């Protein structure tokens, strides 16, 4: 857990636990989504009920609204819930909207950036 995850007195700011999960993400700024966006690639580092962190090749300005596409192998979206099929041929896709709430030079790769995103909505599954 990084310093950005705690308030000044050391208490955790997050309301949801995070799960470390590495998979590719596609993203774009919300205003570019209608133009066929999702042209930027990143790597998901962790995800929780309230947001996610991903590795990007660019620093993204705080407050920027993003559309992010996540693909989960072995899962399918079924109405209001997800179904675990455990088959690599099944890929559930989730598009979310979120706001960039923190940016830091990546500890994993100092030429890239860790981007912290707070979810603000789901576009579709």
Among 16, 49, 50, 31, smallest CA distance to 118 is for 50
The pLDDT, as a whole number, for residue 81 is 78
CB-based contacts of 90, cutoff 8 Å, min separation 6:
73, 74, 75, 76
For residue 7, the enclosing domain spans 3-124
The pLDDT, as a whole number, for residue 92 is 83
Q: Is residue 87 within a helix (H) or strand (E), and if so which, with residue range? A: none
Convert the pLDDT of each residue in 16-68 to its tens digit: 554 455 688 999 999 888 887 788 999 999 988 899 999 999 999 999 999 99
Q: Could you give the CA distance from residue 112 to residue 60 in angstroms, rounded to a whole number?
A: 11
CATH of the domain at 104: 2.40.10.220
Count up the domains in the chain and report the number.
Answer: 1
Task: Say yes or no to pLDDT of 107 above 70.
Answer: yes
């Amino acid at each position: 857990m990084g310093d950005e995850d705690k308030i000044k007195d050391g208490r955790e700011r997050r309301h949801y636990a995070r799960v470390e999960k590495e998979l590719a993400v596609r993203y774009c700024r919300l205003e570019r989504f209608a133009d066929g966006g999702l042209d930027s690639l990143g790597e998901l580092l962790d995800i929780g009920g309230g947001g996610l962190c991903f590795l990007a090749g660019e620093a993204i300005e705080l407050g920027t609204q993003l559309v992010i596409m996540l693909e989960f192998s072995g899962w399918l979206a079924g109405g209001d819930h997800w179904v675990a099929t455990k088959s690599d041929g099944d890929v559930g896709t989730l598009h979310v909207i979120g706001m960039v709430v923190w940016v830091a030079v990546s500890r994993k790769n100092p030429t890239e950036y860790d981007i912290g995103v707070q979810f603000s909505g789901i576009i579709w599954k």
